[in-house]
Amino acid sequence: MRFLVILCCFLATFAVEAITYRVTARVTSYRIIPGRVGPDRKIIPGVMELTLAEGPEMPKPEKPRPSYTPPRRPPSPGYEVMGRVSRIDPVTHVAELEIDTPLVSNNTYRIINDAGEVMGTAQDVKATSDGHFSFTFDGRKRVLTAGRRVILARRDSGFSALADRPRGSSEPALRFKPKDEVAMLYIPEGIFILGGQQSDALHFIPAQREGKAGNRVDVAAFFIDQHEVTLGQYIRYLTETRQRIPGEYENRDADLPVTHVTFQEAERYCSWTGKRLPTELEWEKAARGVQIVTSGDETYTDERSYPVPDEHAAERCVTAENASEPAPVGKLKDRNAFGIVGMCGNAAEWTSSWLLPYRGSTLQDERFGKRYKVIRGGSYEHSLEHSKSYVRLAGGIPSLSRDRRAGFRCARSD
């Protein structure tokens, strides 16, 4: 039998609060010795002697974990996802399909990736004798690679690839509401070209490594703020979290980017909004936009130096050559193909990444290590050269709690 035993020590002659011990144990036997008055008229308290069972400590009862069932989304009218291509055999090119609805022979279906982009069509669909389907794909072969999941959907001119997204939208709907209510743009998953070829620079990465491309990086899809965090946004955050508002923020345009904040301040703001700082790979991919160059059957991001065409960078990027202070985010002219602004100049931006050498790089630099964070984008205080999409600056000198050389924007993986 299991008992909850309370042992109490009473001090009768002094005005002292009793001390109570709570012990959970298995009791095998007990003996009570009643209290009495001693020969000197002092009270001798009673005693309970317990014999406890020996053995391992009894486990604490586990608290039931709440279960979560994601809500089901009603399909859009007039649009139907037929199934998913889960795997393509690299030798036979036979597709393994997860079919929700049987295909109709001789119909045309769209092949769509998880980002909702139409990659091609499946034509001449035919049912085979063993219950499978075959079709001819008119897109690039690299789209249908082993292990890459794509969606097979019934063709309908009124709807796009994702069942919850009407035609004309370039990204899936944002499924959460940021506390700062700032527009976020969707960056689809895929490969981009990272870094540059200056062998003595922090951004150096070899173009070739072990006979293969060394500067191609695949990044998962994410959302990122359309512009840098503004003074108006940051003042609202300071107000709601009951922090001191710096005097230099007063009487300034609320549309200006916030600058000269520490890494920790930037990190706390993004956490408050329900987001996070972007990694430097996410930041660079977002800055490069959809700059595409094709090599054979493979498609990669172009090696353009700025978010805008290189010949327009000096005019559109807010740098030390053409500005003495940052510009309001609503007046920036450096909008890239994703629709993002402020990624070349204006305010430098913190990322969440440590300043480490890229894979394959032989560059030796005393700043490498888990001491400094990567700052990207250049600013109105930097030259145009520092505003290139791949240039890395070391943030955290003399420390991450004291370095105030940058602003920031937030990201989210949802």
Nearest-CA neighbor of 353 among 381, 394, 389? Answer: 394
Residue 342 · residue 227 · CB < 8 Å:
yes
Residues 281 and 366 in one domain: yes
- pLDDT category at 117 given cuts 50, 70, 90 is low
Rounded to an integer, the average pLDDT of 18-32 is 57
Report if residue 98 sits inside a domain: yes
Instruction: Give the C-alpha separation, 176 to 289, whole Å.
Output: 24
Residues 364 and 265 in one domain: yes
Question: What is the structure's pLDDT at 389?
Answer: 94
% of the chain residues with pLDDT over 90: 41
Residues 88 and 237 in one domain: no
Report if residue 168 sits inside a domain: no
Q: Where are the alpha helices (DSSP H) in 221-310?
A: 231-240, 263-273, 280-288
What CATH number is associated with residue 261? Answer: 3.90.1580.10
Residues 271 and 343 in one domain: yes
Residues 26 and 125 in one domain: no
Output the average pLDDT for the chain: 76
Instruction: Give the C-alpha separation, 321 to 315, whole Å.
Output: 10
Residue 406 · residue 348 · CB < 8 Å:
yes
Which of 138, 154, 170 corresponds to the end of one domain?
Answer: 154
- pLDDT category at 340 given cuts 50, 70, 90 is very high
Question: What is the structure's pLDDT at 13?
Answer: 36
Nearest-CA neighbor of 249 among 240, 241, 238, 262? Answer: 238
Strands 150-154 and 81-88, bridge-based pairing: antiparallel
| Count of structural domains within the chain | 3
- pLDDT category at 374 given cuts 50, 70, 90 is very high
Residues 108 and 238 in one domain: no
Residue 142 · residue 298 · CB < 8 Å:
yes
Residues 150 and 189 in one domain: no
Report if residue 206 sits inside a domain: yes
Residues 40 and 103 in one domain: no
Question: What would the pLDDT profile of 26-65 be if each residue is shown by its tens digit?
Answer: 666 667 677 776 777 667 776 666 666 665 555 555 555 5
SS3 for 127-142, per residue? ECCCCCEEEEECCCHH
Report if residue 363 sits inside a domain: yes
- pLDDT category at 276 given cuts 50, 70, 90 is very high
Residues 35 and 127 in one domain: no
Report if residue 112 sits inside a domain: yes
Rounded to an integer, the average pLDDT of 262-287 is 95
Rounded to an integer, the average pLDDT of 314-338 is 94
Residues 22 and 121 in one domain: no
Residues 241 and 378 in one domain: yes
Question: What is the structure's pLDDT at 191?
Answer: 82
Question: What is the structure's pLDDT at 126?
Answer: 75
Give strand pairing partners of 109: 122, 154
Report if residue 314 sits inside a domain: yes
Which of 154, 169, 193 corresponds to the end of one domain?
Answer: 154
Report if residue 62 sits inside a domain: no
Q: Which whole-number Å values give the CA distances from 232 to 16, 289, 378, 400, in the listed order?
A: 57, 27, 22, 24
Residues 232 and 290 in one domain: yes
Question: What is the structure's pLDDT at 368?
Answer: 94
Question: What is the structure's pLDDT at 76?
Answer: 34
Report if residue 169 sits inside a domain: no
Query: Is the predicted pLDDT of residue 6 greater than 50, yes or no?
Result: no
Instruction: Give the C-alpha separation, 93 to 64, whole Å.
Output: 47
Which domain range does residue 326 map to?
184-412
